[in-house]
Chains A and B, each alone.
Chain A
Amino acid sequence: MSIDEPRNMPGDVPAGAPGAPRDAPADLDALVASWRGWMQRHDAVNTADLDELESHLLDTVDHFVSAGLTVDEAFLVAVKRLGGVDDLSREYAREHSERLWKQLVLSGDDDGPVGSAGSAGSALPGGDAEAAGRRLPWYRRANGLPVALLLGAGAGLAVKAVELATGDPSTVALNIAVIVLPFLALWFAWRRRPSIAVLAIVGVVFAGVGLALNLYPFVGSEADEAGTTVAAITSATGILAMLGSIVALWLATGLAYVGDDWRDERARMDFVRFSGEWFVYYVLIALGGGALSMLTVAVFASIGVDVMPFVGEWVLPLGAAGAVLVAAWLVGAKQRVIENIAPVLTKVFTPLFTIMMLALVVAALVQWNLVDASRDLLIAFDAVLVVVVGLLVYSISARDPLLPPGWFDRLQALMLATALVLDAIVLVAMLARTGEFGFSANKTASLGLNLILLVNLVWALRLQLGFLRRRTGFAALERWQTTLLPVYFAWAAILVVVFPPVFGFA
C-alpha cells in the first residue's frame, strides 16, 4: 500500500468528518456524504468520478467490516487506501485535461508563486490555505485584470499610433495582426510563463511576418474592380497576406499559450478550446459595444452634438483592439459560465449546418452549373467548409472524451460526409476554373485551402466512423485535429511569405 505520505492522515479531512467521535455510533452514509463534500472541492474530480470512487470505498469498507473492523475504522482505512486527496485530484486533472484547463486559468487567484504556473501539476489547488493568508499584489487581483486592461489599452493605442504615423488606413489593415496580437502573446507570456526559447520562436515569427508584410511592394490593382478591395487593401496578394498573417500569428500566439508542452496534443486542444471561447466572448463584446456606440451616437445626435467622428476614429479602433485582450481575460476568469455555453452552441449549430449543407448538395446537383458559377460562390463554399471544420474542432474540444458515441456523433459523421461531397463539387468547379483562366493568387490559395480541408475531412470521417463503431478511442479524433494545427500555420505562412513574390505582388 502506498503509505508514504504522512499528510494523507485522516486529520487532512475536515473535523467532524471521518474522524468522528469514537463513542458515537458511526453512520456510514454521513461519513460518505462528508467525504464526498470534501472531495467535491477539487475541480478535477466530477460527480461521476465520485460515484465510482464511492462505490470502491464502500466495497473496501465491506471487506474490512467482514474482517472484523467497526464501520468507522473500516471507513478510515478505506479512505486512506484511496490515496491522498491532492495526489488523487492531480492524477484526475492530468487525465482530464479539459478540467485541468479550467483549473490552470482559474488558479491565478489562489495559486502559489508565479514562476511555478508553467507546470501543470503545480497550479492545482492545495495551497489555498497558505495563499489565503497573503494579499495578492494589485496586478494579480481578479485573475490579472489590471494587466489585461493595460495590455488591451496598449493594443488599442498601438493601432491608433500606427494609423496616425502612417496616415494610411490600408497599412493598419494589412498589419492588424502584427500590431494587436503581440499584446495577446505578452498576456500569455505573463500568465503562462513559457520558456525563453518558446518566446524567442514566437518573437521571430512575429518579426518575420511583420517584415514580409511591410517590405513587400504590394501593388494595388484597379480600385474600381468590385470585390477585390478589403479594408482599403487593393492588392489580391495583399489581402491574402493579411488573412494569412492573422491565422499564422494567432497560431504563433498559441505557441506562447501552450509553451513547452507544444508537442502535447492535449495542450494544443486547450488552445483550441481557448480560441473557441475567446471567439464567443469577442462576438458578445462586439455586439454589446456596437449597440452601445449606436445608442451613444443617437442620444448625442438628439441634443445636436455629432459624436460620430469620435466614435468612429477613437472608440471603435481602441475598443476593437482592446476587446481582444478583455475577451482573453474573460475566458480565464469566467470559465464556468461559458462551459455550459460551448456544448450548447455546437449542439445548436451542427444540425443547422448539416441541413444547410444537405440543401446545398441537392441544389448543386439539381442545377449543375457550379463550374461556371461566379467566384464569389466558390469562396462562399470555401467559407462553409471552414465553418464545418471549425464546428467539428469546437465540438471535439467541448466534448467529454469519456462519453460513449451517441446521436450527436452520428450527426457529426453525417455532417462530415456531406461536407466531403460538397468539397468534391467545389474542387471539380475550381479545377475547371483554373483550367480555363490559369492560376491566379486567389484561386491557388483557395485550392490549397481546399486540399487541406479535403485531407482533414476524409481522415476525420474515417476516424469518426471508427469511433462510432468503437474501433478507435476519442483520443484519436482529438489527436488528428491538433496534428493539423502546424499544417494550417504552414499554409498561412506560405500565403504571407511565398505568394506575394510568386504572383508579382498583384
Chain B
Amino acid sequence: MRIGKDLVAAAATPVVLGILADGESYGYAILQRITALSGGELEWSDGMLYPLLHRLERQGHVHSEWRQADSGRPRKHYRLSEQGAAVLADQRRQWSVVGDVLSKVWPDDGGPRLRLAFGEA
C-alpha cells in the first residue's frame, strides 16, 4: 500500500514534531525512525525532510545546532521548542478529532448502516 502524496504531506509536520518530542535528533535518524514506526509505508524522498525542518525552524517550532558526530562528521541536530510543543499538542487534538470521526464513519464491525439496512427490512 502506498499512502497518498497529500496525506503524507499533511502528516509530515506532526510526525516530525512528535519524533522530536522524544528528544533531539538529526535528519537521517528521524527518517530511520519514521521508516521503523510506519513499517516503511510512510516514506518520502529523503531530501524532502530538510526543507520541512527548515520551515519548522523558521516558524520557531524547532531549534537547530551543528554538532560533531562520533565519526567526526558534522551533523545538524534539531530539537523541539516550547512553541513547537504547543503546536504539537494542538495538532494532536486536531488529528484525534479526525481519527474519531473516521473511526465512527468506518466502524470495524462491518458497518451499522449495512446492519440497519438488512435488519429493518
Q: Hey, which bits of chain A sit against chain B, CB under 8 A? A: 1-2, 49, 51-53, 55-56, 58-60, 62, 81-84, 87-88, 91-92, 94-96, 401-402, 404, 467, 470-476
Contact = CB atoms under 8 A, between A and B. Distances in A.
Interface stretch (B16-24, B41-49, B90-98, B104-112): B41-49
Given A53-B47, A402-B58, 10 more contacts: A55-B27, A55-B74, A56-B47, A83-B46, A83-B48, A401-B58, A471-B83, A472-B60, A473-B57, A475-B60
B57 A2 contact: no
Contact of B45 (A49, A51, A82, A467): A82
Nearest to B50: A52
Contacts of B46: 56, 60, 81-83
Contact of A471 (B47, B55, B71, B82): B82
A404 B55 CA distance: 14
B45 A55 contact: no
B51 A58 contact: no
Interface in B64-99: 64, 69, 71, 73-76, 81-83
Contact of A475 (B26, B58, B81): B58
Contacts of A60: 28, 46
Contacts, number: 91
Interface of B: 26-28, 43-48, 50-52, 54-55, 57-61, 63-64, 69, 71, 73-76, 81-83
30 contacts: A1-B45, A2-B45, A49-B50, A49-B54, A52-B76, A55-B73, A55-B74, A56-B27, A56-B46, A58-B73, A60-B28, A81-B45, A87-B48, A88-B47, A88-B48, A91-B48, A91-B51, A92-B54, A95-B54, A95-B55, A96-B51, A401-B58, A402-B57, A402-B64, A472-B60, A473-B57, A473-B58, A473-B59, A474-B58, A475-B60
B58 A83 contact: no
Nearest to A1: B43
Q: Most chain-A CB neighbours within 10 Å: which of B43, B59, B74, B82?
A: B59
Given A94-B51, A95-B54, A95-B55, A470 B44 contact: no
Max chain A C-beta neighbours (<10 A), residue from B27, B60, B71, B75: B60
Contacts of B58: 95, 401-402, 473-475
A53 B81 CA distance: 23
Contacts of B54: 49, 92, 95-96, 402
A78 B46 CA distance: 9
A13 B120 CA distance: 65
Given A88-B45, A95-B54, A95-B55, A55 B75 contact: yes
A396 B60 CA distance: 15
A47 B57 CA distance: 18
Contacts of A55: 26-28, 69, 73-76
Contacts of B75: 55
B12 to A, nearest CB: 12
A496 B55 CA distance: 40
B28 A470 contact: no
